[in-house]
Structure 1
Amino acid sequence: MGKEKKSGAYPYSSGGWGSLKAVTTILLQEKVPLADSQVLLDQNQPDGFMCVSCSWSKPADPHTFEFCESGAKATAWDLTAKRVTPDFFEVHTVGELSKWHDHDLEEAGRLTEPMRYDPGTDRYVPIPWTQAFEEIGAELRRFAPASVVFYSSGRASLETSYMLQLFARMYGTNNLPDSSNMCHESSSVGLKEAIGVGVGTIMLEDFEKTDLMFFFGQNVGTNSPRMLHQLQEARKRGVPIITFNPLREPGLISFSNPQSPVDMLTPHDTQISTQYHQVKTGGDTAAILGICKRVIEADDRAVSNCEPRVVDIDFIREHTHGYDSFAQYARDAKWDDIELVSGLSRDALEAAANEYMRANAVMAHYGMGLTQHRAGVQNVRMLVNLLLLRGNVGKSGAGPSPIRGHSNVQGQRTVGITEKPELAPLDQLATQFSFEPPREKGMNTVEAFEALLDGKLNAMINLGGNLVRSVPDRYRIEPAWSVLPLTVNVATKLNRSHLLPGERSYVLPCLSRIEIDRQAGGDQAVSMEDSTACFHGSRGVAEPAAPTIRSEPFIVAGIAKATLGDRSTVDWDAWRDDYALVRAEMGKTWPKMFSGFETRMWTPGGVVRPLPARERKWKTKSGKAEFMVPEAIGEDPDMPERVPESLRLMTLRSDSQFNTTIYSLDDRFRGVKGSRMVVLMNPVDMKKHALAQGDQISLETIADDGVNRRVDGFSVVPFDVPVGCIGGYYPECNPLLPLWHCAKESKVPGAKSIPVRVVAG
């Protein structure tokens, strides 16, 4: 196919001078001294620190500048010279701060001392660390463990996560939701059902051996830009890349490498996608089904003509279960239905299938565009179906590749952060630490907030993140959060969750991963797992923002000791002083993964996590890789999407954003400046609703649950998005997302397809 056209909103390649300018801007904005900015040279290096934003793999032979624009922004955000001291809270009440924009709250700077909310003055006031731990522990001892939730964001290290899950289980609960519940839990469920492991199977070395790559619903240009290096090298070898995404994202169209003199000093760039299909929001199952149908029909013709098979029939017979049922489903599917739901033509889907049939080793990368749907697990299973047809799991250069957005969200699950007791090594923990872990299922994130709304929660221990801002149904959640008996927030910066204090509320400032972690046992290092299931050590290099800040392991150990007392067999003080003791216990819990980890964690390129599916060993119910027959190819039978005026809203992140952290109100890739309250809309839909660029509108959710969900103050922006689909920013659009509108099996919020109507402003 010809060269893909660039986005009209941003008619340049991703990377290049635009990226360098953005990095310079954020360093100046945060007043990062020149000396501190040099820590970027240690980012993602073998003996340096892992990036605090995305979880893309750290290569064994890294570039000198092994960081991207997004990673540099995250680092600058933590290295800021700005501070939020107790004096800040003497000037600003919580009531005043609650009126600030989210960007301005974090922009105020790094938190420096532990604080407790004082309802009499409506201010946070400083409290000594020991007193904070004692008070929190006393509160937790008052509550039934089932009424307490221990939430963790994806930034926490393997060591911190291991400590937190052990603390929670010794306390008596499996209420251990984390940020994976909000994004890739659909992968964890779908992949485990299909191939026996809940993570992807590719590694960096597979990029050198692949013949074709698919992308589904993942914006590599802003969510994992370092991956563009591997994509650029693959494209230079002539590897086709086929993209399915509702919006035309610059990072998936072309790339200028900021580290290449040729790319920077000439008009040269690399075309990334060789086919770009703007699938309708929620049309992914239908699109994948169309490709599968073409492959199976071609195989049927080959059988009839006594020609070589198109599907890998030897692999299917030896390694899979359920092929015949799925193949018949695909044969029976009608092209008219596939085209209607996917928004793509039969010719387009057959063009993708033809490339697939020519390739011998195929990767399928995907993000939340597949997982954050009511049919999120089905989407993942369908993608695996496509790979299984031609044996593209468990061989070099091939496999499913879920791209995680948080730096250690995958690793947290690996070391026991899960509400599902069957996924945790409870028997081993019981033996290892001489206690009886709870066996009841805990709450995931959606279930925790359902319990909050029902008045069944007493405490939220929030390790990182901005939980109130990130969840669905925010207008219902915020009042319930603000009357909780206890909230504990471990954070580097002030955010919205801190400004809804309940009866007792604490904000505990923690070190960033970038900073030197000095403990009684010496300078400490931590570890995490990347998207390719490799473990890496990480060592901070910058001076801490304040001497009064404590590390996440220190804080978890302090609360655990104060809460559990003599009930615990763990020497929390020793663990706090020397994280090697934590890693030694991890090695006892999972010897195949972490035996000898203390020295292996610094292996260039990482320690490879054992994954049976890479060796075509299937830990599934049947003992084989499982094909799945989809329930339906439509997006969501539970929502009234047939209302004539309905539009499908997908929530988006900007290029100046990491999860709920907003670095700037601009989004240069989409041509948006100065505001995030915009709705991206196809001109056809604008005409249908009699709207012009810049018109003010409101959005209302179309649902039959009796709750009025409406957000006002949006401006209309014409954009190249499929007819009937619109885009708006996360978390601004979260009030429109019902808490119950989530993936049926994984409970991941269905943020990528929310039926809404336009209300004129």
Structure 2
Amino acid sequence: MAQDDTRIREADLPDTADQTVEYDGPAGGWGSLQGIAQIFGKEWSTPTAIETLMRQNKPKGFMCVSCSWAKPADHHTVEFCENGAKATLWELTTARCTPEFFAEHTVTELSGWADYDLEMQGRLTEPMRYDAATDHYVRCTWDEAFQAIGEHLQAIDPKSAIFYASGRASLETSYLYALFARLYGHNNLPDSSNMCHETTSVALKKLIGVGVGTVVFDDLAKCDALFFFGQNPGTNSPRFLHPLQEAVQRGAKIVTFNPVRERALESFVNPQSPTQMLTGKETAISSQYHQLKVGGDIAALLGMCKHVFAADDAAKASGGKRVLDVDFIAAHTHGLDAFEAKVRATSWEQIETESGLTRAAIEAAADVYIQAERVIGVYGMGLTQHVHGFDNISMLLNLLLLRGNIGREGAGISPVRGHSNVQGQRTVGISEKPELVPLDKMAQQFGFEPPRDKGMNTVEACHGLLEGKVKAFIGLGGNFIRAIPDQPVLEKAWTRMQLTVQIATKLNRSHLVNGQAAYLLPCLGRTEQDIQASGPQAVTMEDTFSCIQGSIGLRQPASEHLRSELAIIAGIAKATLPANPKVKWDEWVGDYGKVRDLIEESYPEMFHDFNARMFTPGGFYKGNDARERIWKTPSGKAEFNTPKMVNSIGFDDAPGRFRLLTMRSNDQFNTTIYGMSDRLRGIEGRRDVLLINPDDIARAGLSDGQMVWLEADAADGLHREVGPLKVTPFRLPDGCLGGYYPEMNPLIALTHHDQESKTPANKSVPVRIRP
């Protein structure tokens, strides 16, 4: 079997691989420690930084501010990864971005700085107001900021305001932020999930009745196989590599489908194992690695399902055990007949063409699926960020449903979420969709009539900006302008707003594009002490496995002028809203436990005994109906979905047109750039690169190292370009290119998004190369 697996892994490699840039070491190992050391030396935070890292992701410690991976009860001595350590050290930096810094530099000057250089100025220390006359940020008091913001919000139609949230704010802050929006009069609550996993929320909600994955952390130790689609644990969730290594060591198979050969899914050395570190002994992670075309996942999954049906046909003909879980399908699913007809009608020729894989490779993957009793399907934005991302997810779900791999131990569908509390924010009410929020309950709690109309998501908010309908923007963290499509066009529209407010820990590009009135409000970081009237406060967040975790910061705040995110939201709300005896901002700021009581009252099933359970080792599980095979769908069953197309890209291939895949580097989290190293891909010192395979370089008449421009090919009449970029030979499928996010965002049309969820389609952008 091992020889067959190796043959499949190598079969999909371009035959010019020896000409490409790549990293030949494993994920983890000494490279990971060196990556942490580089940031440590660059940021040299404090002598207590190591002590802080040792509390990271542990009971009664603080929860990582980067990814939302599980914080297991049975934790390691070191429970942080390379990128988690970078995020913490980035927050603990001794550098300070003070009012004196802003006095020395105009906003126009700072707009020309690189993203990395902006954040390297360190922690923001005092509230600032933008002075358009001098083009400088100037010092202001908290009371002055709150009063002015409140007056601006009172002067406009509430429905013309956007309250955006990044994925890091706690459950307590998120709940009050959403409450503030509805008390004010709107549901315009887009968040970072709109740009990444909104497709998950829409697809899974429609098909199995819940908007999140069905897998819990313990399932990883009980599965027989894991199938990866478009998710890279090496950069996005490195602690995932520990259970993956353990799964391989106990005999589970890992099969990966990804246009990029990510080293973390090929080989891993555990930095916490002295033996592995000393010997350099690597664990091969994927038994099969299929390098499919960008957007080829639907076709690959159709092929796997086709082989499953063929194997079931053979079993029926021979009188053997059925391959399909017919009892599960009959009792728990709806729509199989239409889906099966589509699969059987799709030819292998079409599947091979659209996926870029051979029939033999797809059937080999399907054989692993058939032989495994318990299977987990893992995916990331490689499935969600496509024009037909909904169908990507539904196809993975279809495959899992065929053999009853939803709703039992060691099996299920597992979207890996990014930012630390992005899933939790949705849970406690940050949603533009009023049907997802217990508005009737909240009306009773707080004595008001909540708005019932749908709010604006990220794409709709951007259209509102262009149309002049959006008058104010409050950003609870994040780097909104840098993260959205059509960035240059939207920057121009942004300055027409009457008010922009940014709540942040460090300076970023979104703080340099301002409305007519603009405020930059510095907040505490999660590692820092939060002292309020009742004493030190703790906060909570939800991980990717739907477990709720408590977090306590112990470090001295970066400045005496900082306020917590919750206190800032309450300050703005008090200055904006009329008095309401049931709305007690001062009490809630003074004791976050009272906010948790409110959350429990609004969501009693998920958050019963919230304060008592918040420090449960490993977190407490909020529950998942689909995991219990309770299907809250119109049919009362899990739905097979029949795709209307065989690829997810949403445009036709044409001569000279490429499929651009945007990626994050190893020295990056979301839009935060820690450095210029993408070690795990063998790229160092720069981000202005265009990744392309050697055969496409030759066909396009280009040369290694040549500087080129990318032009969008969106067919909407607008000119979009990014460059110059260095041509860099890299192992990618024919017709596919790679480039870094967010630098490639100007190439993405605002209209280029998933048809169901409006998640921007960053993973398959039509472009052309201009020398």
- Rounded Cα–Cα distance in structure 1 between residues aligned with 2:556 and 2:292: 47
The 8 Å contact of residues 208 and 637 in structure 2, kept in 1 or not, is answered as yes
2:290 matched residue in structure 1 = 277
Match of 1:123 among 127, 131, 136: 136
The question of whether the paired residues in 1 share the 8 Å contact of 2:151 and 2:575 is answered with yes
SS in structure 2 of the partner of residue 460 of structure 1: strand
Instruction: State the alpha-carbon separation in 1 of the partners of residues 277 and 387 from structure 2.
Output: 43
For 2:552, the equivalent position in structure 1 comes to 539
1:225 equivalent to 2:245? Answer: no
Amino acid of the residue matched to residue 353 of structure 1?
A
Indicate if the aligned counterparts of 2:276 and 2:282 stay in contact, CA closer than 8 A.
yes
How many angstroms does 1:213 deviate by?
0.3
Q: Aligned residue for 2:657?
A: 646
For residue 557 of structure 1, what is the amino acid of its counterpart? Answer: A
2:672 to 661, 678, 697: 661
| AA of the residue aligned to 2:714 | A
Per the alignment, residue 623 of structure 1 pairs with 636
2:404 aligned to which of 388, 391, 397: 391
Name the structure 1 match of 2:471: 458
Aligned mate of 1:260, from 252, 273, 278 = 273
Aligned to 2:686: 675
How far apart are residue 483 of structure 1 and its match? 2.2
2:150 pairs, out of 137, 141, 160, with 137
Matching residue's letter, 2:473: M
- Superimposed CA distance per residue, residues 707-747 of structure 1 (whole angstroms, 9 cap, x where no aligned partner): 10111210100000000000000000000000010000000
| Equivalent AA in structure 2 for residue 410 of structure 1 | Q
Take 1:76 and 1:563, find their aligned partners in 2: how far apart are those partners? 36
Q: Secondary structure at the match of 1:174?
A: coil
| Structure 1 residue matching 2:684: 3-state secondary structure | coil
Please tell me the residue identity of whatever aligns with 2:256. T
**Equivalent position to 1:684, from 695, 714, 717:** 695
Counterpart AA for 1:415: V
Asked if the contact 2:392/2:648 (under 8 Å) is kept, the reply is no
Q: Offset of 1:567 from its aligned partner?
A: 4.9
Instruction: Pick from 356, 360, 367 the counterpart of residue 343 of structure 1.
Output: 356
Deviation (angstroms), 1:307: 1.9
Match of 1:203 in 2: 216
1:545-560 to structure 2, matched below 5 A, reads 545-560=558-573
Q: 1:330, 1:689 → 2: CA distance?
A: 36
Does residue 324 of structure 1 match 2:337? yes
* Aligned twin of 1:561: 574
Superposed CA offset, 1:449-479 (max 9, x none): 0110111110000000000000000111111
* 1:475 aligns with one of 471, 483, 488: 488
Of 584, 591, 606, which aligns to 1:571? 584
- The residue aligned with 1:740 is 751
Cα shift readout 1:92-112 (whole Å, capped 9, x = no counterpart):
111111111000000110000
1:601 aligns with 2:614: yes
2:714 corresponds to: 703
DSSP 3-state at the match of 1:560: helix
Following TM superposition, by how much is the alpha carbon of 1:642 offset from its aligned partner in structure 2, in angstroms? 3.0
Q: Aligned letter for 1:470?
A: A
- Secondary structure (helix, strand or coil) at the match of 2:577 reads helix
Q: What CA distance in whole angstroms lies between the structure 1 residues aligned with 2:37 and 2:544?
A: 28
Distance 1:542 1:342 in 2: 50
Q: Residue deviations 1:233-267, cap 9 Å, x none? A: 11110100000000110111011000001110002
Question: What is the deviation of 1:568?
Answer: 6.8
Partner Cα distance (2:335, 2:388) in 1: 20
Partner of 1:114: 127
Give deviations 1:25-73, integer Å, cap 9, x for gaps: 1011012122223200000001101100000001001101000000000
Q: 1:508 aligns with which of 517, 521, 524?
A: 521
Q: Which consecutive aligned stretches of 4+ in structure 1 deviate over 6 angstroms post-superposition?
A: none
TM-score by length of 1: 0.99
Q: Do the aligned residues in 2 keep the contact of 1:468 with 1:478 (CA within 8 Å)?
A: yes
Please state whether the residue corresponding to 1:651 is helix, strand or coil: strand
- 2:325 paired residue among 298, 305, 312: 312
For 1:355, what is the secondary structure of its paired residue?
A: helix
Q: Is structure 2 residue 166 aligned with structure 1 residue 153?
A: yes
Structure 1 unaligned residues grouped into runs of 5+:
none
Whole-angstrom distance in 2 between the partners of 1:393 and 1:531:
17
User: What residue in structure 2 maps to residue 51 of structure 1?
Assistant: 64
CA distance in 1, matches of 2:581, 2:522: 25
Q: Say whether residues 1:724 and 2:750 are aligned partners.
A: no
Q: In the alignment, is the contact (CA less than 8 A) between 1:698 and 1:714 conserved in 2?
A: yes
- Sequence identity (%): 57
Distance apart, 1:389 and its partner CA: 0.3
Q: Structure 1: how far apart are the matches of 2:709 and 2:102?
A: 35
* C-alpha separation in 2, matches of 1:384 and 1:162: 31
Give, in angstroms, the shift of residue 306 of structure 1: 2.1
Aligned Cα root-mean-square deviation (Å): 1.1
In 1, the alpha carbon distance for the partners of 2:554 and 2:215 equals 30
Q: Secondary structure at the match of 2:474?
A: strand
Looking at structure 1, the residues matched to 623 and 218 of structure 2 have their Cα atoms a distance apart, in angstroms, of 16
Task: Give the SS at the match of 1:566.
Answer: coil
Out of 739, 763, 769, which is 1:752 matched to? Answer: 763
Q: CA deviation at 1:686?
A: 0.3
User: Structure 1: how far apart are the matches of 2:680 and 2:75?
Assistant: 27
In 2: Cα distance, 1:114 partner to 1:746 partner: 36
* Rounded Cα–Cα distance in structure 1 between residues aligned with 2:479 and 2:581: 30
**Displacement of 1:541:** 1.9
Residue identity opposite 2:162 in structure 1: V
* Cα contact 1:137–1:559 (8 A) shared by 2: yes
* Aligned-partner Cα distance in 1 for 2:236–2:555: 25
Match for residue 600 of structure 2 among 587, 590, 598: 587
Q: Give the distance between the partners of 1:211 and 1:550, measured in 2 at CA.
A: 48
* Alpha-carbon separation, structure 2, partners of 1:456 and 1:92: 32
Question: Does the 8 Å contact 1:27/1:37 carry over to 2?
Answer: no
Task: Supply the distance in 1 between the matched residues of 2:447 and 2:356 (Cα, whole angstroms).
Answer: 57
Asked whether the equivalents of residues 113 and 509 of structure 1 are also in contact (C-alpha less than 8 Å), the reply is yes
- How many residue pairs get aligned? The number is 758
| Cα pair 1:36 1:542 within 8 Å, conserved | no
1:9 and 2:22 aligned: yes
The alignment partner of 1:546 has SS state of coil
> Matched residues in 2 for 1:267 and 1:623: separation?
52
| Residue 523 (structure 1) shift | 0.5
CA shift for structure 1 position 593: 1.1
Mapped partners of 1:628, 1:649: distance in 2: 27
CA-to-aligned-CA distance 1:454-513 (integer Å, 9 cap, x gap): 111100000000000000001111111122110000000001011111200000001111
**Secondary structure of 1:34's aligned partner:** coil
Whole-angstrom CA distance in 2 between matches of 1:30 and 1:120 = 34
Identify the residue that residue 301 of structure 1 maps to in structure 2: 314
For structure 2, the 5+ residue unaligned runs are none
1:565 Cα deviation from its structure 2 partner: 2.7
1:446 aligns with 2:459: yes
Report SS of the residue matched to 1:276.
strand
Match of 2:299 in 1: 286
For 1:160, the aligned partner's letter is: T
